Each structure stands twice: as structure tokens, then as C-alpha cells.
Amino acid sequence: MLLTITTFLPALGALALVLVPGTEARQHKAFAFVLSLITFFVSLGLWFGFDASPGAPEFQFEQFVPWISSLGIGYHVGLDGVALLLVMLTTALTPIVVLSTWNAVEDRVKEFMIALLVLETAMIGTFAALDLVLFYVFWELILIPMYLLIGVWGSQNRLYATVKFFIYTFAASVLMLLAILYVYFHDGGTFDYVEARQALQVSPDAARWLFLAFALAFAVKVPMFPLHTWLPDAHTEAPTAGSVILAGVLLKMGTFGFFRYAMPLFPEAALHFRTLIATLATVGIIYGALMSLVQTDMKRLVAYSSVSHLGFVMLGLMALSAEGLTGGVYQMLNHGVSTGALFLLVGMLYERRHTRLISEYGGLARQVPLIAAVFVIVTLSSVGLPGTNGFVGEFLILSGTWLSRLRHSAVFSTLAATGVILGAVYMLLLVERVFFGKLTNDHNRHLPDLTLREGFVLAPMIALIVVMGLVPQPFLAPAKPAVDRLVQRFQQVEVRLGQGPQVGTETTAFAARAALPGVPAMPAPLPAAPAHPEVH
Amino acid sequence: MTGFPTKDFVALVPVAILTVGAIALLLSEVFLVSGRRSYQAVLTVAFAAAAGLYAAWVPPAGAVFGRQGMSDNFSAFVTVIVCGGLALSALVGAGWLDARGAERGEFYALAMFGAAGMSLLGMASDFLVAFIAIETMSLATYALAAYMRRGRRPAEAAFKYLVLGAISSALFLYGAALLFGATGTTLFSDLSRGGGTALHLAGLGLVAAGVAFKVAAVPFHAWTPDVYEGAPTPVTAFMAAGVKTAAFAVLARIFLGAMGGGTEQATALGGIVAALAVLTMVFGNLLALPQRSVKRMLAYSSIAHAGYLLVGIVSAAAAGARDKALSGMLFYLAAYSATAIGAFAVVGAVERRGGRDDEPADTWDLDRFAGLARRRPALAFAMAVFLLSLAGVPPTAGFVAKLYLFQAAVGAQLYGLAIVGVLTSVLGAYYYLRVVVYMYMRPAEGAEPDGLSTTGLTLALGAAVAVVVVLGVLAEPVARLAQAASNILS
């Protein structure tokens, strides 16, 4: 029930906003802010109520209500640890985003807030759904408010960007709908995810096609190379709020989809396509980084860096070792926080100078020392400096991949590691060109520094960067049961296939030891694949 | 034993109500003293509601008139859709006609005669009854298309519609005659008898072509864009909802009758309809892409939707998926009717009016929709809901309807058709969204007039939005009704 309340509270708020007169822009902002804050506090109940012990049920806060029973569709929601983390990310980011748009959005404020709140409901619903059709409904519902956010409040080239965004994602998802329908006829006639996962009976060939249909929808959303081309356009043209939500939450829906649906439903097919996906992920890491190096537009640079970062997440997932998966999940959160913060900062600079071109800036550190300081912290988190959240995620992914049984894992992790280096290069170059060096452009001489409101926007992000970097355990703990279950599921498949071990790590003990020193605050052995079946 | 067949005539009560209503409106014109005609739309809605409610509440009578008509849940569902479409179109028409000084009882009377024919067509299970019903429906719609007779476009549209419609009726009739020769009966249920002859196959093909004209399946679609664009907008709305529903109802009955034996002819017929479905989905969507006139785009889109519905018809051939396919088709027809009428109503509200009855070339141009969200937020919102429903985006009726139909197709293992269906619907998303882009994201070019705004229009749009959203969010009751109605008697 609590989960349902969290999901629909923003939508109810949007409905209430419809009734508020259209001219009171400040009221709308305040209302949306307070409402998203309330949603966050309600969702804290989920955070503290979640039982992360190994014996706890897989899905918690479960609720089932018959919906369109004659079609086999039910309203079934529930959270596992990964979904919980992403729901928390969503509810935490939304008030920040609302606060950040205080002065940026002047036109049609009411509609803007309505779109934002509907978007929040759709995002939470996507993570909470445990029915395939319900999931699809929320998944597609995202498109409408996002399409409006980019198209109505975006910048110059917004119409092209928003139509491209919509058509790209819509086209990729319709085949997933067919796959869902196919699943319905091969699991005893239900759309319920938990039942379908148990009862699904399909031939290996069919499973591969189904996996591809799901994977296509998710890969576009992630976005994986070479399906990423909508992202730079959408990110660049979207208003700051849109970019933050897009980077912070929407992209995670793709990786979450792999974790929750594509991989557990069709494990054999996932193993079959594993090398291909890992290759694309690695290409994406390097390609995204190289593209970032040559961008002249700040937002575009951050957008391409997202392609690179999400490549890490996908590589971690495909490693299919506990470390890699955990790292992937952690990196989803990291990317949400640090890239979200980067877009907020770029948005603040844009509000001051109305340009996103890097060449227009330079030597800002003297004028706006606070912004510069925050920018540097966020940059360090983005490049994965030890002590920040980025380090934990990237380290887990790289070590998890290296030690995993993914074929050529050493090659993958080595190449991915060069992506880390390139990441440092383009981010630090950006900082240098924007904040340091000589102040040449006269327009930059009198810029106001961080305001109090902007401080409130950025403070939680900085806090998360530091806390998640130093004390990762509370954020890793909820993910552990879900990760372990996925690994176990793959181990069962491995036994069934009888082609030797393919998941988990080469040597459990070594992996645990390797993971320890780098992350001082990380307690006890990481979820190394328990009782690995060397013996089967 | 030869008593008066009361039961048979009772089954015709909805048709009778609509006919009486039509006559009443015609007579009222004779005795009219004042020029006020606003009661006419109200009267039409009342008669439509009476007929619809009767069909919905009174249990169906079963086979009537020696099995030439079937009064079952299926026909009741069709009647309800048709009456709903009639009521909504009448509400839309009232303001539209009034603004052009053309409100007359004949308009509503013709619409009700047409609706009577459609309801009858939903019951027909015999070629003769079907032909009479088709003609009743068609003659009324020919006349309605020509209602604004002084304009150039309406005249062209009506003429085209009449000529091509007559050809399709002739094809249908000739096919029925051949089938009578092959099977010795005109009943649908005996269609599979005497299969195997060339006569039988030719008859089926001709009948299929005749109905394909009515449902506007490619390659029998050529009349649709011109007629839909040229006809008065409320009439277009009524045709899109009513004619399509009734034609698909009779197509389903004929198809299932022909499928009964499971002969080679049946498989051939299935193949033909499947090919029609693919062509219709692909070309309907492709041709809609370049249209700048929103009304013409919606006309092509109605062709595309006929393609999806044909997928439902083909799926009904598989015994295991029959219930799902038929109920999916009914649900789709209900969803599409509400959505299409709503969309055409908005088009009617914003269209530019020329002098006299002639529309200027840019009457329905996309530019007319530019900045609509600022000028008329409610109207733009309603249009956005309809367009999203047409595109099949949740949480609208169009999504559930597509889900329903494609579920049937996957259940019938028609994976190819299903894949073509969902991929072409992506094209649909593109051209529907373009209108949304104009409404919400482009400023108006010049000072556009606000367009039409009447009580009837507001009511109709409100009702249509409600249906689209309720069918999208709380689909269960209607889905259950559709399921009950899928049990076709034959």
C-alpha cells in the first residue's frame, strides 16, 4: 500500500494542480516542490522498512489488485533492493529538480510542473511494477511527459530532438510488447512477472528472439552503442530539469530492464548474447569518451559521457559475477547523482550566460568560486576518484569483470579501464577550459555566484557523492539479495546447460580479497557467488 | 404453428426505434413554426440512447427470421457502438451545422436511417439481409456526404462515394449470387457447404472485395481520403465510427461462416484477408505520413486502423484464439469509434470557413492547429488524448485495444502479422505526434480565430475523452462485455 501511495502521490498532485488557476506561477512551483518533498518522505518509509537480510522475501511492499483480468493483466507491484534504490533515487531527485527550475522556467509553469509530477509517477511505477503489461504501461507513459518537457520547454532544435526521442524509444518498445504477449501464451496465460519467471516454457530459439526484443527496447533506453544517437540531441535540447531526469533516472530504466526482465526471464539467451553485449558496452565506453573529448557544447559533452558511463554499467551486468552486478547497480546510482549534478551545474551556468559553448567561458573560478568548487567535486566523482562514489562503482565493475568468467574478460576490463582514463581527460579538460586559465570574455566578468537556492539544490548531491564514496555499505546492502538471486538463477541455468561454469568469478576468495583494500569502508566479503558449483 | 413471429420482430426493436426517430424528425420539419432547431440534436441523442439501451439491457432473442438474422450479444454490442457514435456525431453536428446555417431535420433523419441500417447489418447472417442493410446504411451516408451540396468538395466526395459504393454493392451482390449457385443457400452458416468449386471461390472473393470496399482496405481504399475529406466533418466522424463497425461486424460473420468447414477455400480466404491486412496496415500508414491536411491524415489513419482490425478477423480463424480475436475486435471498434469521432470533432471545431459552402484549400491544414494549446487549452488537450489513443500509447483506449488485438494475433500464432502491425503503428506515432507538435510546440502564425465552441461539442468531446481514458484505465468491464459478445451465433 505504501508503495502504491508513493507511486501515485505525484500524479494526484498533478491532478490537483490542474485545478489551481493558471496565473499563479509561484504557487505552482511551491506546490510541486512541497508535494515532491512529501513523496520523498513517504518513500523513506520504503527505505527504512525494507528488509535486506538474505531470508527476507524477494519482493517487498507487494500489492496485487486485479486490473484487466479478462486479458490476464493485474496491478501487481513490489520492490526488490535494486528497484528500491532506483525508486529512492527518483524521489530524491525530483524535489531537487523542481527547486532547480525555480527561475529557469517562466513560461507555462503549471503545465511544466504537471508534466514533471506525472513523469515521477511513471518512473516510480516502472520500477515498482511486477506485471509485464503494467510495466509496459508505465514504461510508455514516461514518453508523453518527457516528450512535452523537451518539446515545449527545450532550446533551439527541440522539435527535432523530441520527435527523435519519442519515435526511437517507441519503435524499440513495440517489439517488446509482442514479446510480452508471446510470454503470455507460454507461461500458462498470465502477465504476472513472478509467475512468468517460474513457469515460462519456450524453446531456446524463441528465447533468443524474445531476449532480443526485450534487449532492443532496453538498449535504446540505456542507450547502448550504436543505438545512442537520440541521447545527445535529447539531452542537449531538453531544459535542465529534463536533462537531469533523463540522465538521472530514465537511462537507468534501460539497465534496470536488463537486470529485472531480459536477464532473469531468458538466462540462456542472455548467456548466448553476453559477449556481444559486453563488446558493444566496451565500444560504447570508449566511443562515448572519445566523443566527449571533441565536444564544444557542455551539455553534449555530458551527454556523451553518459554513453560512456552507462557502458560501464552494462559491462558490469554482463560480467555476471556478484561484484560486477553489484558494481553495475551502484554505478546506476552514481551516474544518477553525479551526472544529474553536472547537468544542474551546466544549467546554472547557462542561466547566467545563456550559452552552452565551452569557448564562451574560461577563467570563471575567480568570479564564481563556489560553483567552481562544486563543479570540481562533481567532476572528481564523475571520473571516479577514490573517496567519491564513482570510484566504488567503477572499481567493482572493473574488478568484477576482470575476475569473471566472461570470455576475454581481461581484454574487456583493460579496454574499459582506458575509458576511465579518457574520462578523466575530458572532464578535467572541461573544468580547465571553463573555470581556469585567463578570463578573456568580458561577459564573464560580473557573474553572480551560487545563490542560497542553488546551494540547497547542490548540497544534497555533494552529500550523496561523499557519503556514497566513503560509506557505500547502506547502499550496497539492499542490492545484495537481488544480485545473489540473479547469480543463483544463472548458476542453475549453467548446471542445466552443462557447458561448464560461465557465471560468477574464477576464484571466490581472491575476488573478495581484491575488492577489500580499495574500499576501506566496505565491510566483510562482497557478495561473492556463494558455493560456486565447481562440482556439478 | 404459423402464428405471427413476434419474437422475430421484437429482435428488431433497436432498428425500429431508430427508424421511428428518423421519421419523427422528418415530420417535425413539416410542422416547424419557429426557426429554432436545437431540439433536433437532443431528439436524435434520445432516440439513439433508447435504441442503445434497449440493445444493451434486453437479452438477445437468438436466431430470427429463419436464421437470416442473429440477435446475439455480438449484434447488441455493435448496436451500442453504432448508437453511441450516432449520439456523439449528432452533438458534434448540431453546432457545426448551426454555424453554417444548415441545421435541418433531414440531416439527423438520414443519420438515424443510416444507424438503423448499421444495426441491422450487425445482425445479418444472410446475404440478402446483409445486402438490404448495407444499402440502407450506404444510401443514407451517400446523401449525408452530399449534405453541404453547394460546395465543390462535398459534391465531388458524394459523387465518388456513390459511384464507387454502387460498384462495391454490385460486387457484393454478384458474389452472393455466385455463392448461392455454389451452395444453394444465402445463409452465412452454410457457406462452407459445397466448397471446392471455382464458383464458390469466385463468389467468396467478390463478396470479400465488396466488404473490403466498405471497410476501406487497401487496395479498395481509393475513395476514402477524398470522401472523408470532402464530406461534412460530423458526417466523416459518423462514417468512421458507424460504417466501419457495421462492416466489420458483417465481415466477421461471413468470414467465420466460410471458415466453418476448414476447407482449402477457407485457407485461401484466410490468406487473402491476411494479405489485405498487411497491405492496409503498410499503405494506410505510409500514405498518412506526408499529409498536411489533418482531416485527410485522419482518413488515411482510418484505413490503417482497418488494417489492424483485419488482423483480428484473420486471428478469428484459429479456433483457440477466436474468442479473444472477436472480443478484441469489438473492443477495438468501440475504442476507435470514440477516438475517431472525438478527433474529427476537434477538426470540425478548428476548420477554416470560406464564403458560402466552399472550403479554401488550407481548411484543415496543420497550421490551423499551431498554438492551439494556448488559444484553446481544453480543445488541444482533448485532441492530444485522441491522437495518443490513435497511436496506441498508454494509458488510453487505443493502447488496450491494440494490446487486445495483437494478443489474439500472437495467440493465433500470426507472428508476422503482429510484427507488421506494431512496426507500422510506429509510423502512426510519427504523424499523430506531428499534430501534437503543432498544437503544443509551435506558435500560431497569424491571428487565428478561436474556432467553434458550442455546448453540444463540449459535451461530445467530454464524453469521448471520458470513454477513451476509461477504456484505457478501467478496461475490465467493457472487456468482459466484449468477451461475452464474442460468442457469435451462426
Q: Is the pLDDT of residue B194 over 80?
A: no
| pLDDT value, residue A522 | 40
- State chain A's mean pLDDT as an integer: 86
Distance from CA of B333 to the nearest CA of A (A): 17
Q: Give the whole-angstrom CA distance, residue B165 versus residue B235.
A: 16
> Looking at the complex, does the CB of residue B426 fall below 8 Å from at least one CB of chain A?
yes
Q: Of the ranges A65-69, A276-280, A488-492, B440-444, which is most confident?
A: A276-280
Identify the H or E element spanning B376. none
In a domain, residue A523? The reply is no
> Looking at the complex, does the CB of residue B480 fall below 8 Å from at least one CB of chain A?
yes
> Looking at the complex, does the CB of residue B403 fall below 8 Å from at least one CB of chain A?
yes
Model confidence over B456-465: pLDDT tens digits?
A: 889 999 999 9
Host domain of residue B332: 8-485
Q: Which of A407-416, B206-215, B263-272 has the lowest mean pLDDT?
A: B263-272
Average of per-residue pLDDT across B233-252: 93
Average of per-residue pLDDT across A495-515: 66
Average of per-residue pLDDT across B431-450: 81
Main-chain dihedrals φ then ψ at residue A73, nearest 5 degrees: -105, 135
Q: Looking at per-residue confidence, does B25 or B442 come out higher?
A: B25
| pLDDT value, residue A528 | 43
Average of per-residue pLDDT across A212-227: 91
> Looking at the complex, does the CB of residue A136 fall below 8 Å from at least one CB of chain B?
yes
Interface-testing mutation among A174, A184, A190, A230, with chain B (most B C-beta atoms within 10 A): A174
| pLDDT value, residue A38 | 93
Which of A10, A164, A88 has the alpha carbon at shortest distance from A468? A88
Average of per-residue pLDDT across A128-139: 93
Model confidence over A56-115: pLDDT tens digits?
A: 888 889 899 989 888 889 999 999 989 999 999 999 999 999 988 888 777 788 888 889
Model confidence over B252-280: pLDDT tens digits?
A: 998 888 877 666 666 778 888 899 999 99
Q: Is the pLDDT of residue B442 over 70?
A: yes
Q: Is the pLDDT of residue B340 over 90?
A: yes
Model confidence over B383-432: pLDDT tens digits?
A: 999 999 999 988 899 999 999 999 999 988 899 999 999 999 998 888 99
| pLDDT value, residue B355 | 55
Q: Looking at per-residue confidence, does A405 or A282 come out higher?
A: A282
Under 8 Å CB-to-CB from B297, ≥6 apart: which residues? B288, B291, B431, B435
| pLDDT value, residue A525 | 42
Which residues in chain A touch residue B400, judged by CB atoms under 8 angstroms apart?
68, 71
Which residues in chain A touch residue B407, judged by CB atoms under 8 angstroms apart?
71, 181, 184
> Looking at the complex, does the CB of residue A151 fall below 8 Å from at least one CB of chain B?
yes
pLDDT band of A492, cuts 50, 70, 90? confident
Q: Is the pLDDT of residue A22 over 80?
A: no
| pLDDT value, residue B359 | 64
Which residues in chain B touch residue A137, judged by CB atoms under 8 angstroms apart?
394-395, 399
Whether the upstream peptide bond of residue B395 has omega within 30° of 0, thus cis, is yes
Which of B213, B460, B463 has the alpha carbon at shortest distance from B347? B460
Alpha helix (H) ranges present in B289-321? 294-315
Model confidence over A423-456: pLDDT tens digits?
A: 999 999 999 888 888 888 777 778 888 888 888 8
Which residues in chain B touch residue A141, judged by CB atoms under 8 angstroms apart?
393-395
CB contact under 8 A, B410 and A182: yes
In a domain, residue A527? The reply is no
Q: Which three cell numbers stand for residue A184?
A: 503470455
Q: Is the pLDDT of residue A511 over 70?
A: no
Which of A143, A163, A137 has the alpha carbon at shortest distance from A151? A163
* Domain total in chain B: 1
Burial of B274 (0-12, 13-18, 19+ CB in 10 A): buried
| pLDDT value, residue B486 | 85
In a domain, residue B490? The reply is no
Main-chain dihedrals φ then ψ at residue B289, nearest 5 degrees: -55, -55
Contact by Cβ (8 Å): A529, A491: yes
Closest residue, chain A, to B436 (C-alpha): A148
Q: Is the pLDDT of residue A508 over 60?
A: no
Phi-psi region of A141 (alpha: psi -120 to 50; beta: other; left: phi over 0): alpha
Average of per-residue pLDDT across B115-140: 93
CB contact under 8 A, A71 and B393: no
Q: Which three cell numbers stand for residue A391?
A: 570510484
Q: Which of A318-327, A454-463, A516-525, B205-214 has the lowest mean pLDDT?
A: A516-525
Model confidence over A362-381: pLDDT tens digits?
A: 888 888 889 899 999 999 99
Distance from CA of A148 to the nearest CA of B (A): 8
What single letter denotes the amino acid at residue B363?
A: T
In a domain, residue B2? The reply is no
> Looking at the complex, does the CB of residue B1 fall below 8 Å from at least one CB of chain A?
no
CB contact under 8 A, B393 and A158: no
Q: Looking at per-residue confidence, does B307 or A513 come out higher?
A: B307
Which residues in chain A touch residue B442, judged by CB atoms under 8 angstroms apart?
159
Would you tell me which residues 23-62 of chain A have a C-beta closer than 8 angstroms to some C-beta of chain B? Answer: none
Percent of chain A surpassing pLDDT 70: 94
pLDDT band of B87, cuts 50, 70, 90? very high
Instruction: Name the residue among A70, A133, A140 with its Cβ closest to that of B480.
Output: A70
In a domain, residue A529? The reply is no
| pLDDT value, residue B119 | 94
Contact by Cβ (8 Å): A38, A82: no
Q: Is the pLDDT of residue A509 over 60?
A: no
Which residues in chain B touch residue A140, judged by CB atoms under 8 angstroms apart?
393-394, 399
Host domain of residue A426: 2-518
CB contact under 8 A, B433 and A141: no
Q: Looking at per-residue confidence, does A255 or B450 come out higher?
A: A255
Half-sphere exposure of B275 (CA within 13 A, CB side): 11
Contact by Cβ (8 Å): B240, B174: no
pLDDT band of B354, cuts 50, 70, 90? low
Q: Which three cell numbers stand for residue B471?
A: 477504456
| pLDDT value, residue B461 | 93
In a domain, residue B3? The reply is no
Average of per-residue pLDDT across B133-147: 92
| pLDDT value, residue A529 | 43
pLDDT band of A530, cuts 50, 70, 90? very low
Which of A111, A263, A232 has the alpha carbon at shortest distance from A165? A232
CB contact under 8 A, B429 and A166: yes
In a domain, residue A535? The reply is no
> Looking at the complex, does the CB of residue B406 fall below 8 Å from at least one CB of chain A?
yes
* Residue carrying C-alpha cell 488537450: B381
CB contact under 8 A, A185 and B403: no
Q: Looking at per-residue confidence, does B166 or B66 come out higher?
A: B166
Q: Is the pLDDT of residue B14 over 50?
A: yes
Q: Give the whole-angstrom CA distance, residue A402 versus residue A409.
A: 5
In a domain, residue A317? The reply is yes
Percent of chain B surpassing pLDDT 90: 48
CB pairs under 8 A between A and B: 88
Q: Is the pLDDT of residue B320 over 90?
A: no
| pLDDT value, residue B59 | 85
CB contact under 8 A, A174 and B422: yes
CB contact under 8 A, A185 and B476: no
Which residues in chain B touch residue A11, judged by CB atoms under 8 angstroms apart?
none
> Looking at the complex, does the CB of residue A66 fall below 8 Å from at least one CB of chain B?
yes
| pLDDT value, residue A178 | 92
Model confidence over A139-158: pLDDT tens digits?
A: 999 988 999 889 888 888 88
| pLDDT value, residue A354 | 85
For the beta carbon of residue B290, count every other beta carbon within 10 angstroms. Answer: 10
CB contact under 8 A, A175 and B422: yes
pLDDT band of B230, cuts 50, 70, 90? confident
Would you tell me which residues 337-396 of chain B have a C-beta closer than 8 angstroms to some C-beta of chain A? Answer: 388, 393-395
Q: Is the pLDDT of residue A535 over 60?
A: no
| pLDDT value, residue A463 | 92
In a domain, residue B150? The reply is yes
Average of per-residue pLDDT across B422-448: 85
Which residues in chain A touch residue B440, judged by CB atoms under 8 angstroms apart?
148, 151-152
Handedness of CA B278, B329, B133, B47 (dihedral sign): negative
Interface-testing mutation among A108, A177, A209, with chain B (most B C-beta atoms within 10 A): A177
Would you tell me which residues 67-96 of chain A have a C-beta closer than 8 angstroms to some C-beta of chain B? Answer: 67-71
Average of per-residue pLDDT across A473-490: 89
Which residues in chain A touch residue B484, judged by CB atoms under 8 angstroms apart?
none
Which residues in chain A touch residue B480, judged by CB atoms under 8 angstroms apart?
70
Q: Give the whole-angstrom CA distance, residue A79 versus residue A62.
A: 7
* Domain total in chain A: 1
| pLDDT value, residue A521 | 39
Distance of CA B18 to the CA centre of its chain: 17
pLDDT band of B321, cuts 50, 70, 90? confident
Average of per-residue pLDDT across B447-452: 69
Q: Give the whole-angstrom CA distance, residue B124 versus residue B67.
A: 9
- State chain B's mean pLDDT as an integer: 88
Which residues in chain B touch residue A133, judged by CB atoms under 8 angstroms apart?
403
Model confidence over B377-388: pLDDT tens digits?
A: 889 999 999 999
Burial B143-153 (b: 16+ CB within 10 A, else e): bbbbbbeebeb
